[in-house]
Amino acid sequence: MDETWAPDACTLPTAERPLRVAEFDQLFATYLRRANRVDDQTLELTLDPAAYAAAADLIARESACCSFFTFTLNLRVTVPPAHTAVLDGLTARL
């Protein structure tokens, strides 16, 4: 599992990053219905409605350690221009 796309701005302890990536992988594998890379800075995800509670919890925890993310519950993910590689890494997980 490659987490090299996680930027230095991420405050999640390095040892916990594989666990967080696994949480995203599980969410996507179980509930992802559609993914659309809108532009370099935006990834729009459509999840099964059954995922909303788990997704809300995960994005709250992710936002706490990676303040550059902007999530909405419909999971349209945006990043500033300096962090498009992070979105590339997240997109690759789909």
Instruction: Give tens-digit pLDDT for 36-91.
Output: 999 999 999 999 989 989 999 998 998 888 888 888 776 678 899 999 999 999 88
CATH: 3.40.1620, 2.60.40, 3.30.310, 3.30.1360. Which one for 14-92? 3.30.1360
Query: Which position has the higher pLDDT, 12 or 58?
Result: 58
d(CA 36, CA 56): 20
pLDDT at 3 over 60: no
Return the pLDDT at 75: 64
Average pLDDT over residues 12-36: 91
Are the beta carbons of 9 and 66 closer than 8 angstroms?
Answer: yes
Q: Where are the domains of the chain?
A: 14-92
pTM above the 0.85 mark? no
In this prediction, residue 1 carries a pLDDT of: 41
Alpha helix ranges (H) inside the chain: 17-31, 52-65, 84-92
Q: Contact, 26 vs 92, CB < 8 A? A: no
Burial of residue 53, with CB atoms counted within 10 A of its CB: 0-12 exposed, 13-18 middle, 19 or more buried: exposed
